[in-house]
Amino acid sequence: MSWNFLTLPTCSPVCSSRLRPFLWLALALLAGCTATLPPAPDIPATELSAVPFFAQEDYQCGPAALATVLSWSGVTITTDELNRQVYLPGREGSLQLELVAASRRAQRLPFILTATPQALFTELAAGHPVLVLQNLAISALPQWHYAVVVGYDPQRQRVLLRSGTQERRWESYTRFMASWRRGAYWAMAILPPGQLPASISADSAAIEIARNEPLLAPDTTLQAWEGALARWPDHPDIVFGTANARRQADALPSAAHLYNRLLEHNPAHLAARNNFADLLLHAGCPHAAQAIIAPALATTANLPPAIAATLGSTAADITRRQTVTAAADPDSCLSLTDTAPR
């Protein structure tokens, strides 16, 4: 399952009152008839006091909240820089899409959490601040606001936020959950390089890293893959993704080690066979490359055309190199293939 971000309206500043008096009365009347909220989380008292604070100006809650989590993750940035990137004057706010894109520009993976309270409080218990979208009014007349969750008091059932102009804004659990639910439980975690959300699964981690890979620097994604590999060392997609990232970083022996390991346990992994064979070819080992790709070529008749074409192209490159270089592979190839399955 992927953590897709939603495209919702922009935020309004928590410090301004744009709602007419009759609407505040309506909100008060509706307060007693809201749907049942999820029970309060069973986590110890938490306050992430090291999370910085950036006070918002006017309608710029998006830049302020994003600066908070980016700065905590190790990015040196100011709200002025983010204002230019994410603030939309015509809408007096920032879309989630803009926050996600700005996170990538800062070389951070934007992890959109599963839309559940459990995911948010799992991150909080792990020491991770979480950027959330709240609707401070009602669905029919929304007042959008971004804040950062940095603490929870189980005894008094309160949630602690970096919000608006308040560095330590306490909201009751029920009030916070109601406003967050009206924001579709949208939440984003931005972590230091190589770290992953505590609430993410191996499958989702592989999907998110791969989805962001074309938009980030190779070193950023390599750190993400390495972090995932340390947590899930036997997950095929994570082993494969890390091998590819290592190869892109010219760490050929360590990439070959992962391809070897993956094929040892998953000999039918065609993408790994193709990429490992291509690595060996470019390392000057065409005969070893041929041995690796040969089992995959036997299956091309039953494969989708695009996959069969990729395997065929790699095989053709190997054949051309073998024609030019009739001699056996150099001894250096043994270090790349000593445990390679055939």
Backbone torsion region of residue 202, taken as left when φ is above 0, otherwise alpha when ψ lies between -120 and 50, otherwise beta: alpha
So what's the pLDDT on residue 1?
26
Q: For residue 34, what are the contacts with CB-CB under 8 A and spacing of at least 6?
A: 178
Rounded mean pLDDT, 322-331: 82
Residue 273 has pLDDT above 50, yes or no: yes
Structure tokens at 210: 């791969």
Residue 338 has pLDDT above 90, yes or no: no
Rounded mean pLDDT, 257-284: 96
Residue 260 has pLDDT above 60, yes or no: yes
Q: Comparing 4 with 65, which gets the higher pLDDT?
A: 65
Q: For residue 11, what are the contacts with CB-CB under 8 A and spacing of at least 6?
A: 59, 61, 62, 93, 94, 133, 144, 145, 146
Q: For residue 1, what are the contacts with CB-CB under 8 A and spacing of at least 6?
A: 114, 201, 203, 204
Rounded mean pLDDT, 249-264: 97
Using a pLDDT cut of 90, give the percent of the chain over it: 72
So what's the pLDDT on residue 108?
98
SS3 content of the chain, % helix, strand, coil (to 5): 50, 10, 40
**Residue environment code for 151-171, b if the CB has 16+ CB neighbours within 10 A, otherwise e:** bbeeeeebbbbbbbeebebeb
Q: Comparing 34 with 273, which gets the higher pLDDT?
A: 273
Residue 256 has pLDDT above 60, yes or no: yes
So what's the pLDDT on residue 138?
87
Rounded mean pLDDT, 315-327: 87
Residue 83 has pLDDT above 90, yes or no: no
So what's the pLDDT on residue 67?
96
Instruction: Give strand ranges (E) for 50-177.
Output: 111-112, 130-135, 144-153, 158-163, 166-172
Residue 20 has pLDDT above 50, yes or no: no
Q: For residue 121, what are the contacts with CB-CB under 8 A and spacing of at least 6?
A: 41, 43, 152
Q: What are the structural domains, with CATH classification, of the chain?
A: 46-190 (3.90.70.10), 202-337 (1.25.40.10)
* DSSP at 89: G
Residue 24 has pLDDT above 50, yes or no: no
Cβ–Cβ under 8 Å, residues 271 and 304: no
Q: How far apart are CA 160 and CA 4, in angstroms?
A: 26
Residue 199 has pLDDT above 80, yes or no: yes
Q: How far is CA 322 from CA 13, 256, 275, in A?
A: 66, 20, 18
Q: For residue 306, what are the contacts with CB-CB under 8 A and spacing of at least 6?
A: none
Averaged confidence pLDDT in the chain: 88
Residue 49 has pLDDT above 70, yes or no: yes
Q: Comparing 138 with 253, which gets the higher pLDDT?
A: 253
Rounded mean pLDDT, 328-337: 89
So what's the pLDDT on residue 12?
47
So what's the pLDDT on residue 99?
94
Rounded mean pLDDT, 37-45: 89
Q: Give the tens place of pLDDT for each residue, 223-245.
A: 999 999 999 999 999 999 999 99
Residue 294 has pLDDT above 60, yes or no: yes
